[in-house]
Amino acid sequence: MLQHNILCLILLIVTLFVATQSSPLAPALYIFGDSLVDNGNNNMLLTLAKADYDPYSINFPGQVSRGRFTDGRTVADFIAEYIGLSYPAPYASLPRYNSTMGYNYASAACGILPESGAHFGRCFPMDEQIEMFRSTIESQLTPSFKDPGQLSHHLSKSVFVVCVGSNDYLQNYFQLYPSSQLYDPVQFAQLLTDKLSRQIKSLYELGARKVLVMEIGPLGCIPTVARHPRRLLKLGGHKNEKCDEDASNSASAFNKQLPFMIQKLTSILPDSLFTIGSVYQISHDAIMHPAKYGFSDSSNPCCTTLLNGMFLCVRYQAACPDSSKHIFWDGYHPTENAFSKLVTQWIEDSSTCFPIGFKQFIEA
């Protein structure tokens, strides 16, 4: 543990040094969400949803295993690199860092609803992540910015990324939870977006102004769903070669609600700036046409997983020879290269973020 903490500290110092050599496009980056962006907040928790062991992070700079649920960097890391900031430290990690350049509060298995993912063990749902951010303001940012106006300006120019919602389907609606009996897909999507809207409003009240909300990807195409032995509850069961389209369509109802959600938030929250990061269409196209994006495998996990490709990586088992050719790292999560392709699409094609292009959003 001591050696691990020393390595983490060295990596943090190096990335801080690199980041300060040029002027970043935003003063700080704050990450909220689930395992797609978690970088170690679950490490100290009593949960099955952990990635603090090999082969996770084997391609991460410095090869330090820091709890990322992929072979290297996540979408949050690539956003940090584009902005010119160091990778935000996991807020719940030990040792605790004091940073004015942002934190990562994301927690694997958790979601918008507090009950989502509870069967895996302890995690930090969105409401709790927001309370962590509140604590950051009170204990770290307020003492660092003596002038309240400076703190308000800092937060208003900072970038907030929200990547959440997948587990409300994968670890709630698609499981033996009451939600699948109480709501049809459209009703459940409305429940989620109503709750998420209140959570984003809470971030705004704490000072957030620039918020990027990521879509949910095609959940029916991930190995853990596509290979599900008893199929998903309440779904018709239509499959093509690689995906359970009914599962993807059920979850995509959430994506269809997002534009209405941010339109309403924009109308009631002065000086706010919201955009939606396209995930579903880009990911689905890559899975259906992997060669177009430089992949050769869009169905199988790269690492050796439990339950025939349906779960997390088996501890200390060797991964495939070239993870860059795979879209999926384990039964749930993309590879570093897949994350990289996603952010590259956002940067190069302004239409992939709506209503404001990614570059315009970051630089605003």
- What does the pLDDT read at residue 97? 76
Rounded to whole angstroms, the Cα distance separating 227 from 217 reads 17
Please name every residue paired with 29 in a beta bridge, in sequence order, or none if there are none: 159
- What does the pLDDT read at residue 239? 57
CATH code of the domain in which 310 resides: 3.40.50.1110
Cα 331 to chain center, whole Å? 16
**Per-residue pLDDT of the chain in tens (364 residues, 90 and over written 9):** 444 444 444 444 444 444 444 799 999 999 999 999 999 999 999 999 999 999 999 999 886 768 999 999 999 999 999 999 999 999 998 777 788 999 999 999 999 999 999 999 999 999 999 999 999 999 999 999 989 999 999 999 999 999 999 999 999 999 878 898 899 999 999 999 999 999 999 999 999 999 999 999 999 999 998 877 544 444 545 556 789 888 888 889 999 999 999 999 999 999 999 999 999 999 999 999 999 999 999 999 999 998 776 799 999 999 999 999 999 999 999 999 999 999 999 999 999 999 999 999 999 9
Report the domain count for the chain.
1
Rounded to whole angstroms, the Cα distance separating 338 from 341 reads 5
The domain of 206 spans 2-363
Rounded to whole angstroms, the Cα distance separating 312 from 307 reads 9
- What does the pLDDT read at residue 240? 64
Pairing relationship of beta strands 103-104 and 159-163 according to DSSP bridges? unpaired
Instruction: Say if CB 126 and CB 110 are below 8 A apart.
Output: yes
The whole model's pTM is what?
Answer: 0.92
Rounded to whole angstroms, the Cα distance separating 255 from 280 reads 8
Rounded to whole angstroms, the Cα distance separating 75 from 293 reads 17
| 218 three-class SS | coil
* Gyration radius from the chain CA atoms: 19
Backbone angles phi, psi at 10, to 5 degrees: -60, -45
Q: E-strand spans in 269-352? A: 273-277
- What does the pLDDT read at residue 23? 93
- Which tokens go with 329? 């790292």
Rounded to whole angstroms, the Cα distance separating 117 from 164 reads 12
Instruction: Write out the catalytic residue numbers.
Output: 35, 330, 333
Residue 305 backbone class (left: φ over 0; alpha: ψ -120 to 50; beta: rest)? beta
Q: Which of 335, 108, 301 is nearest to 223 (CA)?
A: 301
Rounded to whole angstroms, the Cα distance separating 212 from 361 reads 8
Instruction: Say if CB 30 and CB 133 are below 8 A apart.
Output: yes
Burial of 180 (0-12, 13-18, 19+ CB in 10 A): buried
Rounded to whole angstroms, the Cα distance separating 105 from 86 reads 15
